[in-house]
Amino acid sequence: MTMIDTGFDLLRHGDTGQRSYRGQLDDALSPLGWTQMHEAMVGREWDRIVSSSMQRCAAFARELADARGLPLATDPRLAEYHFGDWQGVPIEQLADEQGDALAAFWRDPVAHPPPGGETFHAFATRLCAALEPFKLSLINSVGTMRRFIDDVGLPATVRANCDISHLHLVRAEPGEVAALKGLIEHVHLSDCDGQVHGDLPPGRGVTPIASYLEAIRDTGYDGVVSIELEYSPVPDQIEAWVAEAYDETDQIMQALDCRD
């Protein structure tokens, strides 16, 4: 499988005519916003477009994709941060009525999210950059994953999801994982046949799971490892399929001394 190293541009949506934290309120672009987006496209070329599903992003993305004949994918996980009770409330009103809370949020949004707002842990989890072993994937190597995270410039919220079988499918060496030190948010563990995405229990494929997991451990990652499985080929043996995956994973993690 040959992977193409990918570059990308990150574009913010245009003006919506609102003066408040909009978050996940689904505003349309204002006429000024449409003009801003049209101007931003001049002299720029892309091979594909990935957009939030919110209309202030997706409407222009669809227009651009249609005009240029480009593939378009919309993903609700790219929606803006949810500001909870502050969504739609004018900034001036928040400053007058909740000035101390607003100042604390500006000073440290991770420690002081808006009341009823999305936690930044939840925000980070849905924005984890996943490496995908498919031809048109935006992130298809450890290098492009690191570049994407660096370009976004929000290392506390936009972080890496290390999928071990995907690493193997894109022919990433375990040592390459060191480039993600301090940036890993989550780990998916499964096996595959080395050719196609499979999500098999460990030991049923050829993925060097222990080598990748050891490299991930050596970055200092001490978070969650999720077992990722497709359905059992024998549906009435699904419980045995899951138990096998759990037991094999446990043995690998115990051997690496990376499980309490």
Over residues 221-235, the pLDDT tens digits come to 999 999 999 888 888
Query: pLDDT tens across 155-177, in order?
Result: 887 889 999 999 999 899 999 99
Q: Is 161 helix (H, G, I), strand (E, B) or coil?
A: strand
Q: Residue range 181-197: average pLDDT?
A: 91
Give the Cα separation of 98 and 102 in Å (integer): 6
CA angle, corner 198, sides to 194 and 201, nearest 5? Answer: 95
Q: Which amino acid is it at 171?
A: R
Domain ranges of the chain: 31-118, 122-255
* Amino acid residing at 63: E
Q: For residue 86, what is the DSSP state?
A: G
Q: What average pLDDT does the chain have?
A: 89
In CATH, what number does 31-118 get?
A: 3.40.50.1240
Q: Is the pLDDT of residue 254 over 80?
A: yes
- For the segment 118-146, the average pLDDT, to the nearest whole number, is 76
pLDDT of 1 above 50: no
Domains 31-118 and 122-255 share a fold: no
Residues 81 and 123 sit within 8 Å (Cβ to Cβ):
yes
Query: Residue 45 corresponds to which tokens in the numbers above?
Result: 């070329």
In the prediction, which pLDDT does 136 show?
58
Nearest in space to 249 (alpha carbons), one of 129, 186, 164: 164
What does DSSP assign to residue 52?
A: E
Higher pLDDT, 28 or 147: 28
- CA distances, 12 to each of 56, 57, 82 (Å): 10, 8, 16
Give the mean pLDDT of 73-87: 90
| Backbone CA torsion sign across 122, 128, 133, 136 | positive
- Please state the rounded mean pLDDT for residues 52-58: 94
Q: What is the CATH number of domain 122-255?
A: 3.20.20.150
Q: For residue 120, what pLDDT is reported?
A: 80
| SS3 category, 163 | strand
The arrangement of strands across the sheet holding 160-163 comes to 129-130, 160-163, 184-189, 225-227
- Confidence (pTM): 0.65
